[in-house]
Amino acid sequence: MAENKTGVKKRLPLEGITVIDFSRVLSGPYCAMTLADLGARVIKIERVGTGDDTRAFGPFVDDESAYFMCFNRGKESIALDFKSPRDRELLDRLLDKADVVVENFRPGVMARLGYGAEQLARTHPHIVYASISGFGHTGPFKDLPGYDTVVQAMGGVMSLTGWPDTQPARVGTAFGDLGAALFAVIGILAGLYKRSRDAQGTHVDIAMLDCQAALMETAFARFDVEEKVPTRTGDAHPSLAPFESFAAGDGRFIIAAGNDQLFLLMADALGVPEVALDPLFLTNDLRVQNRGAMIEAIERVTRAASVSAWLDKLNEAGVPCAPINTIDKVIDHPQLLARNMFIQVQGKSERKVKTAGNPIKMNTSPDEDVTVVRRAPAVDEHREAILAELMASSGAYTSQADSESGDDELERSTGLAA
Amino acid sequence: MAENKTGVKKRLPLEGITVIDFSRVLSGPYCAMTLADLGARVIKIERVGTGDDTRAFGPFVDDESAYFMCFNRGKESIALDFKSPRDRELLDRLLDKADVVVENFRPGVMARLGYGAEQLARTHPHIVYASISGFGHTGPFKDLPGYDTVVQAMGGVMSLTGWPDTQPARVGTAFGDLGAALFAVIGILAGLYKRSRDAQGTHVDIAMLDCQAALMETAFARFDVEEKVPTRTGDAHPSLAPFESFAAGDGRFIIAAGNDQLFLLMADALGVPEVALDPLFLTNDLRVQNRGAMIEAIERVTRAASVSAWLDKLNEAGVPCAPINTIDKVIDHPQLLARNMFIQVQGKSERKVKTAGNPIKMNTSPDEDVTVVRRAPAVDEHREAILAELMASSGAYTSQADSESGDDELERSTGLAA
C-alpha cells in the first residue's frame, strides 16, 4: 500500500487474493501475471526439475530465459510431484487458501491429476477456476492441441493479415495466446465479483479459438451481409480511407483521416486543400472506392518532405497520424515512458530485462515505472517459505488435511520431492 | 436466470450492474458490449439525431449499420443534449443508478461537459469510471487523436507483421481498439471487485498505445537482451520451428511442432522419420537456424498430397496443425458452432446479422447460441422506458436532483430535446 501526494491511500484491487497457477508457456502465465499486476499473490506450481517449458526458451540472460522472466515476474514458485502423496497434501493445503486456479493443460489432464474443475468444485466450492485451452472443454475439437499459430490460422485472422499479393501473415505477436489470456482474466474477475455476492466459485472455460472469433471485429457481419469473403488489405483499413501508410521522402508514415472533416484538415495541412474538393474524394465511401487515385494525389505531395516534417504538420492540425515504429523506437517512446509502461525483471543474475508493465492505470492503485525491478522466481524457489507459512497456519487446516502426517513429516517429505 | 439439467441456477455474473456508456465507435462500445454479455445493463448515451458515428459505417442492412449492430447488441439507447438543463438532470438521475461509466472521448472532453472522472468522484464516489483514449490522460501525447492504425503503427506491431520483403502490414482486425477494450473491461471488473470490499469507486485510465506495448510479447526483452531490432517473419514464429505454413498439393497449411518430441511425431506422420534425425534439425534452435533447409525437407513430402489429407494424418498423430481458414470457413466451423460462438443481431428491419458471441464460458452462466437474436437499439429508442422507470423510482432521487422541476416537467422537457 502506498500513499500519494493528495493523501489518498493507494492499494491494488486484488490485494488479498491468492492464485494457484498450474499454467505454463504463455496464455496461462500471461493471465496470472495480469492478476499479479493487479495485486494478487500468484503461486506458480511447476514441474519438478525443469519447471515451466519456457525456462528453455530464448533469449537467455546468463543461461536464464528472458522469455520466462517476462511473464512470471512477481510470482512465487513451488515444484510439485503429483505422484507424491506428500506433495498432494501440500497442494490441498494451498488450495484451501486459494481464491483462483489457473491452468492451461489440454482438457482432461487436470481431472486425471485429481484437480479438475468438477473435482475442486466439490472440495473447494469457493474457487474461481479458469481453464485455457486451444479449443475449450466441449465440442468435437476439444482434444486437439491448440497453439498460437494454429488458432491464428483456424480462426481467420491470418486470412486478413498481410498484403493482398502475398501469402497470409501471422500477427506479429502471440495474438492467439494473449487474446485468450485477457478473456480469461475477464472471466476470473467476473467470477470473483459474482463470488463476492453469492459466495460460490465458478468454472471459466476459455478456448483460444473462441477468442479469435470474438476478436474478428466486423468480419463475420461483412461476410454475412455482403456475401463476399473479406481478405487482406495490407496496411489499409478495409472500410476507411485514408487509413494507411503513405510515402514521404525518407520513409512511410500513417494518416488515419477516415471522416470527411479530418480529410479536409489533412488536405489543408498537406498544403493541397483542392484534394478535399475533388469529387472522387468527397466522402469516405468514395475515397474507399477510389483509393488508388487518392493515394496518388496524397503521395504527390508527401514524397517532397520527410516523415517527421509531415507528422509535425499533421499533428499540429489535429489529424491522426503516426510513424511506423520499430521496437527500438517503441521502447524509448516518450509517451510510454511518461505512462510508466516499462519495468525491469530480474532472475538469478544481476542482469535485468526490460519488458512492458501494467497498462491498467487506476487512480486508486500505485503504479510502477522502469526503475522498479520485479523478481522472476527460480524453480521451487519459494518452497521453504510456503511450507513455513502453511505450518504457521496449520491449526486452521488440520481438519481438512485428512492425513496422519504431522507438520514435521510434511516438511521432510515435501522437501524430498523437490 | 436460467436453470440447467442438473438444477443449478444459472445467472450472469454482472446481473444488477448498470453501465452508463458514453462511448462511440469501437473500443468503448466493445468494452461495454462485453459487460453486457456478462449480464450488466448498459445504457448508451448517444448524440441527439445521428447517434454513434458507426451508425454511418457500412456494411448496411436496409440502411441500418451492421457495424453498429455488432458492438451495441443488448444495449439501451437514450439521446441526450448536454446543453439542455433537463437532459443534464436526467443524466444526473441515471448516474445515481450507475455502477460503471465508460467513455472514450479525448482527455478533457468529459470534464468540459461536467462529467469528468474527478467531478463524478465527488458527486458519485461509488462509480467505477473507465476512460479509453489513444494515449491516456497523462503524458506529452495525451491530447493527440489515437486511432487503431495509429497505435498499431506507433506501438510496434506493424513493424512485426507481414513478410520481411514487403511493407509492414496492419493486423487484419482492430487490434489497437480491441486490445484496449479488453484491458478496460479488466480494469472495470477489478474496480468493481475492489468496490465490493471498500465501497469506493475508481478511475481506470486506459491508453490504446499502452495496451499495444503490453501485448508485444517478448519483443522488448528480445531487443533489450540481443540488441537486435525484431522484425517481420511472415507466417513463422520468430523463435520456434516448425511453426509456420507449408505447401500441400492444393494449398498451404500450418504445422506448429515447436518442440523436439512434436517434431519427431510430425516426421513420422509425414512418413519421413529420417528428417527428425537430420543433425540440422535435432533441436528447436537448430531448426530456427536452418529454417530454409527444414522447409525444403518438409515440403518435398507435403506437396504430394492435399491439405486435408495432411491435416487428418497430423491430427491423428497429435501434431498441432491447421488449415488457413477464410472467414466463410470460420463462420461455419464445427467447433465454434458447438461452442455457441455465433449469435444474431437485429435492428429495426427483419434482417438479422451474424456475429461472434461471448467467448467467456462460465458453468454458472447461461450461454447463447446462433438461434438467439439480440436487439441493437435505434437512437433514443429507450427514452420513454427509462423516463418511466426514473419517475417510478423518483422518490429515491428527488433529494439529489437539485431541481424545481416536477416529474411532468422533466418528461416534457427531455422529450423536446430528442
Residues 85-104 of B with CB under 8 A from A: none
Residue in B with minimal Cα distance to A336: B210
Q: Tell me which residue of A182, A196, A210, A188 sits closest to B17, measured CA to CA.
A: A196
The minimum CA-CA distance between B382 and chain A, rounded to whole Å, is 25
Which of chain B's residues have a Cβ under 8 Å away from the Cβ of A367?
none
Chain B nearest CA to A209, separation (Å)? 8
Contacts (Cβ under 8 Å, ≥6 apart) of A193? B13, B14, B189, B192, B193, B196
The reply to whether A373 touches chain B by the CB within 8 Å rule is no
C-alpha A85/C-alpha A409 separation (Å) is 12
Contact: A364, B200; criterion CB under 8 Å: yes
What is residue B99's predicted lDDT score, i.e. its pLDDT? Answer: 98
Residue A407's pLDDT is: 39
Q: Please, what is the Cα angle at B32 between A207 and B71, to 5 degrees?
A: 75
Interface test with A, best of B11, B69, B170, B345 (most A CBs within 10 A): B170
Q: Is pLDDT above 70 for A168?
A: yes
Residue A271's identity, in one-letter code, is G
Determine the average pLDDT of the residues in A72-99.
97
Most B CBs within 10 A among A154, A284, A310, hence the mutation to make, goes to A154
Residues 6+ apart with CB under 8 A from B284: B239, B240, B241, B258, B259, B260, B263
Whole-angstrom Cα distance, residue A125 to residue B68? 40
d(CA B295, CA B280): 12
pLDDT at A403 over 90: no
DSSP code string of B185-248: HHHHHHHHHHHHHH---EEEEEEHHHHHHHTSTTHHHHHHHH-S-----TTS-TT-SSEEEEEE
| Residue B37 pLDDT > 50 | yes
Task: Using pLDDT thresholds of 50, 70 and 90, give the confidence band for residue A394.
Answer: confident
Cβ distance of A155 and B193 shorter than 8 Å: no
Segment B377-392, tens digit of pLDDT: 999 999 999 999 999 9
Write the pLDDT tens digit of every residue in B58-79: 899 999 999 999 999 999 999 9
State the CATH class of domain A2-215+335-417: alpha beta
Q: Which residues of B are catalytic?
A: 237
Distance from CA of A198 to the nearest CA of B (A): 10
CB contact under 8 A, B155 and A342: no
Enumerate the residues of chain A whose CB falls inside 8 A of the CB of residue B210.
336, 339, 341, 359, 361
Nearest to B186 among A151, A162, A360 (CB): A360
Measured between beta carbons, the chain B residues lying within 8 angstroms of A245 are: 153, 167-168
CATH assignment of B2-215+343-417?
Answer: 3.40.50.10540
Handedness of CA B212, B214, B216, B222 (dihedral sign): positive
**Which residues of chain B have a CB within 8 Å of the CB of A34?**
186
What is the structure's pLDDT at A401?
A: 39
Beta strands in B64-184 (DSSP E): 64-65, 76-80, 100-103, 128-133
Q: What is the mean pLDDT of residues A73-93?
A: 97
Q: Verify whether the Cβ–Cβ distance A225 to B61 is below 8 Å.
A: yes
Given a cut of 70, is residue A50 above it in pLDDT? yes
Instruction: Choose the weakest-confidence range: A141-150, A171-180, B130-139, B402-411.
Output: B402-411
Round to whole Å and give the CA distance between A26 and B239: 14
Q: Tell which wins on pLDDT, B282 or A6.
A: B282
pLDDT, position A2: 45
Question: What is the percent of chain A with per-residue pLDDT over 90, rounded to a whole number?
Answer: 88
Mean per-residue pLDDT of chain A: 92
By Cβ distance, the residue of A148, A235, A329 closest to B170 is: A235
pLDDT in tens, B78-128: 999 999 999 999 999 999 999 999 999 999 999 999 999 999 999 999 999
pLDDT score, position A409? 36
Residue of A nearest to B195 (CA): A13
Rounded CA gap, B23 and B197, in Å? Answer: 28
Nearest-Cα residue of chain B relative to residue A317? B144
Is A166 in Cβ contact with B141 (below 8 Å)?
Answer: no
Residue A150 distance to chain B (closest CA, Å): 5
Whether the pLDDT of residue B416 is over 70: the answer is: no
> Residues 17 to 76 of B: which have CB under 8 A from any A CB?
26, 34, 38, 53, 57-61, 66-67, 69-70
Of all residues in chain B, the percent with pLDDT exceeding 70 is 92
> Given its phi and psi angles, is residue B319 left (phi above 0), alpha (psi -120 to 50 degrees) or beta?
beta
Please state which architecture CATH assigns to domain B243-324. 2-Layer Sandwich (3.30)
State the pLDDT confidence band at A58, using cuts at 50, 70 and 90: confident
Across the interface, which of B187, B216, B331 has its CB nearest the CB of A356?
Answer: B216
Q: Which residues of A touch B191 (CB under 8 A)?
A: 13, 362, 364
Gap from A410 CA to chain B (nearest CA, Å): 35
Q: How confident is the model over B248-263, as pLDDT tens digits?
A: 999 999 999 988 999 9
> How confident is the model over A74-81, as a mean pLDDT?
98
Q: Once rounded to an integer, what is the mean pLDDT over residues B18-23?
A: 98
What pLDDT was estimated at residue B406? Answer: 37
Are the beta carbons of B202 and A13 separated by less than 8 Å?
A: yes
Whether A1 and chain B come into contact, CB under 8 Å, resolves to no
Output the pLDDT for position B418: 27
Q: At what angle do helices B407-417 and B85-96 cross, to 10 degrees?
A: 110
Predicted confidence (pLDDT) per residue in A120-154, tens digit: 999 999 999 999 999 999 999 999 999 999 999 99
Q: Report whether B406 contacts B380 (CB < 8 A).
A: no
Angle between helices A407-417 and A85-97 (to 10 degrees): 110
Give the number of other Cβ atoms within 10 Å of residue B136's Cβ. 26
A-chain residues within 8 Å CB-CB of B232? 169, 172
CA distances from B237 to A78, A149, B254 (A): 30, 8, 11
Q: Please tell me the distance from the alpha carbon of residue A25 to that of residue B256, in angstroms, as a whole number.
A: 14
Using CB atoms, which residue from A145, A168, A252 is nearest to B167?
A252
Helix, strand, or coil here: A13? coil
- What is the DSSP code string of A63-76? TEEHHHHHHHTT-E
From the candidates A217, A246, A315, which should be mutated to test the interface with B, based on the most B CB atoms within 10 A? A217
Q: Which ipTM was obtained for this model?
A: 0.93
Q: A320, A263 in Cβ contact below 8 A?
A: no
Contacts 24+ apart (CB under 8 A), A245-249: A245/A324, A245/B153, A245/B167, A245/B168, A246/A295, A246/A298, A246/A299, A246/A302, A247/A299, A247/A302, A247/A303, A248/A302, A248/A303, A248/A305, A248/A306, A248/A307, A248/A309, A248/A310, A249/A303, A249/A304, A249/A305, A249/A306
Local confidence band at B395 (pLDDT 50, 70, 90 cut-offs): low
Q: What is the pLDDT of residues B309-363, one digit of tens each?
A: 999 999 999 999 999 999 999 999 999 999 999 999 999 989 999 999 999 999 9
What's the rounded mean pLDDT across residues A214-241?
Answer: 95
Write down the pLDDT at residue B223.
97
Chain B contact for A242 (CB, 8 A cutoff): no
Q: What integer pLDDT is reported at residue B9 of this predicted model?
A: 72
A8 in contact with B, Cβ within 8 Å: no
DSSP 3-state assignment of A224?
Answer: helix
Tell me the C-alpha distance between B44 and B79, whole Å: 8
Cell, residue A5:
501526494
Q: Among the options A137, A237, A333, A382, which is catalytic?
A: A237
A411 has pLDDT over 80: no
State the Cα–Cα distance between residues A143 and A121, nearest whole angstrom: 22
What confidence score (pLDDT) does residue B25 get?
96
Nearest chain A residue to B259 by CA: give it: A53
Whose grid coordinates read 517503441? Answer: A330
- Spell out which residues of chain B touch residue A322, defining contact as CB-CB under 8 Å: 149-151, 153-154
- Interface contact B362-A191, CB threshold 8 A: yes
Same fold, A2-215+335-417 and A243-324: no
pLDDT at residue A397 in the model: 44
Strand partners, A19: A42, A100
The domains of chain A are located at 2-215+335-417, 243-324
pLDDT of residue A340: 98
A361-362 vs A373-375, strand pairing mode: unpaired
Report the pLDDT averaged over residues A116-121: 98
In this prediction, residues B17-36 reach a mean pLDDT of: 98
Alpha helices in A256-406 (DSSP H): 260-269, 274-277, 284-289, 291-302, 307-317, 327-330, 334-338, 383-392, 398-401
C-alpha cell recorded at residue B219:
519483443
- Residue B58 confidence (pLDDT): 86
B216's CB contacts (< 8 A; 6+ apart) are A173, A327, A330, A356, B155, B156, B157, B160
Q: Do B161 and A171 touch (CB under 8 A)?
A: yes
pLDDT exceeds 90 at position A6: no
Q: Assess contact for B190 and A360: CB atoms under 8 A.
A: yes
pLDDT in the model for residue A412: 33
Q: What is the mean pLDDT of residues B265-292?
A: 96
B126 touches chain A (CB under 8 A): no
The alpha carbons of chain A give a radius of gyration, in whole angstroms, of: 26
Q: Which residues numbered 256-315 in A keep a CB inside 8 Å of some CB on B?
A: 256, 258-259, 285, 315
Partner A contacted by B332 (CB < 8 A): no
Please judge whether B145 and A361 are an interchain contact, meaning their C-beta atoms are less than 8 angstroms apart.
no
Pick from B210, B287, B358, B374 the residue to mutate for testing the A interface (most A CBs within 10 Å). Answer: B210
| pLDDT bracket for residue A396 (50, 70, 90) | very low
